[in-house]
Amino acid sequence: MGDLVEIRVSQLAEKTIPLKELKKWNIFSTIDDNFLQNIRIAHVHGTFGFLITTDDVVYAIGSGPIGSLGIGKSESVPSPVKIDTLCGQFVREFFTNAKASCFALTKDGRVFAWGSNLLGELGIETVGIITTPKLVKVGDGAKISQLSVGFAHTLALTMDTAEVFVWGYNHYGQLGLRDETNRSKPRNATSNITSNKIKQICSSQFSSFALTQSGDLYSWGHNATGELGIGNFIHSNIPTKAIFDTPIKKVINGPYHTVVLTKSGEVYACGSNSEGQLGIGDKTNLNVLTRVATDVEIIFDDISSMSKINQSLAKSKDTTFAWGEIHKGISFNNPTELNSLNFPHPMTLVKKEAQFMYKSLCASNYEEKGKSVLQTLETAIGGPGTDVEFKVEGSIIKAHKSILILRSDCIARKFSESWNKQDGQIELQDVKRDTFYALLYFLYTDKLYCRDVDFDTLSDLMKLADQYRETDLRKKCESVLQKQIKLENVFTIYKVAGECNAKVELNTITFVDYISSGDLLDKANLSGQEFLRFTKAWAEKSKNSGDPN
């Protein structure tokens, strides 16, 4: 196999990714559970993804540009297909950029690349689409510990020497080599960065970042929105120390914004702020790192973002906060608590048809520890002991009849009446698969489960709650709507509320504020009846408060 190395099966770990975690990703929903129960690595990039079994067989699934699947010229495979070159290589993580250039990093520090390569972004010393994985030669055989991919450029951090190698597109100087020339061969950029040891690399669409062991941040490349944090809006082909005196623990990037977590648990951001992704309370671009605005003092544990979405996430203990673009036309300017998020992966509301992983799922990241009763119930749907099957939109959902009967009088009656007459699977009509799953999840846990917590999903769930007479579920949905009311989405929420008779009250959002925002009103897609409903709500609120403004 030339440069490839066969890994003995005995070297492989037997731990697997929990089935519940894999089922959160749409692209895996049609794969048989028996297959998914044997997966140790999984990766999703929009319409395609990769899976690795415990015996180190690597598969591609989905559809993407020519070469992106790594299986030749095939652009679409509805079921998992082997990537022969990667089998037995013990890949530990996948990386994919916006142009569908793909990389696989192995446990022993080798890098394989395939897909789009028009600008040299694969680092294999040639250009043109590559349809099967090729080994990337970094330096004199250097082993790689980290990779980071931008729009069409790549950074690699060596395992032993902590040197930074770069290759690919360089129009804005994002390779840090003091010029704007593309490179198809990895080049060592460490001498241009700092003499301090690098511990993390990161990249936005057209910029690059290196974080030192001492907590200093160096940045270079595109800077039209201030994402480099160096106090100006000028592109730089030379790594420059960010203007920031507090030691940094971690750095992450969106398309054109940067977020850092300090060693003391504070979050700062700079760069593009078109959707409020800096979390500073407005939408002003900033060229220096500025602390995000929170109502109370919060010590954050981790941060996350991706170079594809104008969105930022942060985690404090078991609570996840989001800001920036949350859904089409909806954005938060401040960190907002949204516990339904699948941290560290981005919310998928911006592009509902596609999901993206912040990083590959790995079985080793899931701790084996005793579960509480509630934790057991959270993963029970489709798990051991199921004795009833529901067929919804062609998908099968397995559940426990006894739990459903104990939790729902309505379902108990259905089991003794109409459902009792159906042999085998209970086929449900006029309901979406995800909506019915969310109903079952609530019955098991008393919690909301929405893979894409958007207004349409909440509306469908409230209607289903009415159908099954689950008043507590309806109240939880109404509470979510209430918390999400903002000037930019108030009409949308009132429209949804009207469709399902939800109780939603005006808070600080006022009718006068909305009318004064002429562009928002012009874009509103409302019927006369919907506008009348909102006007009455505003009038009632004003009457009760004595203040029409």
pLDDT of amino acid 528:
53
Q: Is 170 left (phi over 0), alpha (psi -120 to 50) or beta?
A: alpha
Query: How far apart (Å, rounded) are the C-alpha atoms in residues 359 and 345?
Result: 7
Report which residue type is found at 304.
Answer: S
Task: Give me the chain's average pLDDT, please.
Answer: 84
**Sheet (strand 144-149) strand order:** 144-149, 153-158, 164-168, 183-188
Cβ-Cβ contacts under 8 Å for 2 (sequence gap 6 or more): none
DSSP 422-475: S-SSEEE-SS-HHHHHHHHHHHHHSS---TT--HHHHHHHHHHHHHTT-HHHHH
- SS3 sequence of 512-541: HHHHHCHHHHHHCCCCHHHHHHHHHHHHHH
Report which residue type is found at 352.
Answer: K
- Residue 11 banded pLDDT, cuts 50, 70, 90: very low
Query: How far apart (Å, rounded) are the C-alpha atoms in residues 294 and 265?
Result: 13
Closest CA to 37 of 360, 404, 390, 379: 379
pLDDT > 70 in the chain, percent: 80
CA angle 150, 452, 341 (to 5 degrees): 70
pLDDT > 90 in the chain, percent: 55
Rounded to 10 degrees, the C-alpha dihedral 124/130/134/136 comes to: 20
Which element (helix H / strand E) includes 334? strand 330-337
**Sheet (strand 130-136) strand order:** 91-96, 101-106, 111-115, 130-136
Closest CA to 438 of 503, 381, 514, 366: 381
Give the three-class secondary structure for 22. Answer: helix
Q: Which residue has the higher pLDDT, 403 or 297?
A: 403
Domain locations in the chain? 1-137
Query: How far apart (Å, rounded) are the C-alpha atoms in residues 13 and 19?
Result: 17
Give the three-class secondary structure for 376. Answer: helix
Residue 519, φ and ψ in degrees, nearest 5: -65, -35
- Whether the per-residue pLDDT at 543 is higher than 60: the answer is no
pLDDT by residue (tens digit) across 31-80?
Answer: 999 999 999 999 999 899 999 999 999 999 999 998 999 998 888 999 99
| Distance, C-alpha 264 to centroid of its chain | 25
pLDDT by residue (tens digit) across 185-204?
Answer: 999 998 777 667 899 999 99
Give the three-class secondary structure for 545. Answer: helix
Give the number of C-alpha atoms closer than 13 A to the C-alpha of residue 495, restricted to the C-beta side.
12
| N-to-C CA span, the chain | 74
Query: How far apart (Å, rounded) are the C-alpha atoms in residues 166 and 86?
Result: 23
pTM comes to 0.68
pLDDT by residue (tens digit) across 17-29?
Answer: 999 889 888 899 8
- Whether the per-residue pLDDT at 496 is higher than 70: the answer is no
Q: Which residue has the higher pLDDT, 350 or 28?
A: 28
Report which residue type is found at 418.
Answer: S
pLDDT of amino acid 75:
84
- Residue 9 banded pLDDT, cuts 50, 70, 90: very low
Query: How far apart (Å, rounded) are the C-alpha atoms in residues 159 and 218?
Result: 19
Q: Is 226 left (phi over 0), alpha (psi -120 to 50) or beta?
A: left
Q: Report CA-CA distances (Å) from 235 to 178, 256, 299.
A: 11, 12, 33
pLDDT of amino acid 484:
63
Instruction: Judge whether 92 and 107 are in contact, CB under 8 Å.
Output: yes
> Is domain 1-137 annotated with CATH 3.20.20.70?
no
- Whether the per-residue pLDDT at 112 is higher than 60: the answer is yes
Query: How far apart (Å, rounded) are the C-alpha atoms in residues 356 and 284?
Result: 27
Closest CA to 111 of 154, 168, 57: 154
pLDDT of amino acid 460:
85
